[in-house]
Structure 1
């Protein structure tokens, strides 16, 4: 995995955590409280080494995810100054500072938090850094809110023509079925 792939994976994980904690509706369903399984699913987007997640870590991920969600919503709504302020606050609270680390039997790699912080704080520093990198990039216009009813998810438009409207095929299909039923009812 090269550095840009890791950054993209970290940004996808940041968005997934934000959706799991800040979106009221997720693909037609009311959001569930954050749990260990969801945190692990988010972290699997960027790592194969699963840290130990306890209730305290879940609570810290939930609070940080809500902060990232607010910042991402602001970015999606082109409120970049407010988003930059929110991201800077998150980075300051996590004491984000790039540092090279080498674990046994692995190559040197970049962490985004200093030693001694909690697992959740370290990950939130990385997610905050990825979000900050998005804000300063030419890809910012790819951040979107899902256009489906009862879905508040954010996503990165992965299409070549920049016209993706839905976070998932499920939301796209729900919208198409609702439009079809509406047309049929009026015929």
Structure 2
């Protein structure tokens, strides 16, 4: 593990949320989809299952996408804005058999607020560790997705949507068509 567990969870959940607004259309079309997202990303605490909550979570995505900006000053401004707007107050918390970790808003804060703050806190760790390069855009030229490279050797290039496989298959087919080795 390169980062604290809560940092890794915050980063991967932020990337997953940003990617729900991707090339395949709306990834959070309804409350049931948001429920699946919350479960898949192990969000705990308040979850209202309302249209207002769904709209608030969707509205957060463009702001979180800015965390993948190449300019560190832009990233820091977004992080600071998210934390300030949410009135974040970091505290050590232990719940659900997890060791102590940092929460900066109460578990009963609105879901979109908790998502924003968790992402901001996780990215703050990257900024402090001079590791913003781990926030990347998928290397597939037609993919708008973002990713978090948590590999030790910083080698991850593709998102989880199968882009790496598509590139490998295309290269294989091109070699085969050219009469090269498979």
Structure 2 length-normalised TM: 0.76
Contact 1:143 1:157 in 2 (8 A): yes
1:126 to partner: Cα distance:
2.0
Q: Quick check: 1:40 aligned with 2:32?
A: no
When residues 174 and 94 of structure 1 are mapped into structure 2, their CA distance, relative to the original with a 3 A threshold, is same
Root mean square deviation, CA, Å: 3.3
Q: Quick check: 1:31 aligned with 2:18?
A: no
Number of residue pairs matched?
A: 175
1:84 to partner: Cα distance:
1.0
Superposed CA offset, 1:78-130 (max 9, x none): x1011111221222222222246688xx9986432258742322332222222
Residue range with higher mean Cα deviation, 43-52 or 118-127: 43-52
Q: Name the structure with the higher helix share.
A: 1
Contact 2:45 2:108 in 1 (8 A): no
When residues 121 and 158 of structure 1 are mapped into structure 2, their CA distance, relative to the original with a 3 A threshold, is closer
Contact 1:154 1:167 in 2 (8 A): yes
1:180 to partner: Cα distance:
2.8
Contact 2:149 2:155 in 1 (8 A): yes
Q: Which runs of 5+ in 2 are unaligned?
A: none
Q: Which runs of 5+ in 1 are unaligned?
A: none
Match of 2:88 among 85, 96, 102: 96
1:41 to partner: Cα distance:
4.1
1:182 to partner: Cα distance:
3.4
Tell me the equivalent position of 1:53.
49
Structure 1 length-normalised TM: 0.74
Tell me the equivalent position of 1:11.
11
Provide the C-alpha distance between the structure 2 equivalents of 1:138 and 1:57, rounded to a whole number of angstroms: 34
Residue range with higher mean Cα deviation, 110-119 or 79-88: 110-119
Provide the C-alpha distance between the structure 1 equivalents of 2:102 and 2:152, rounded to a whole number of angstroms: 30
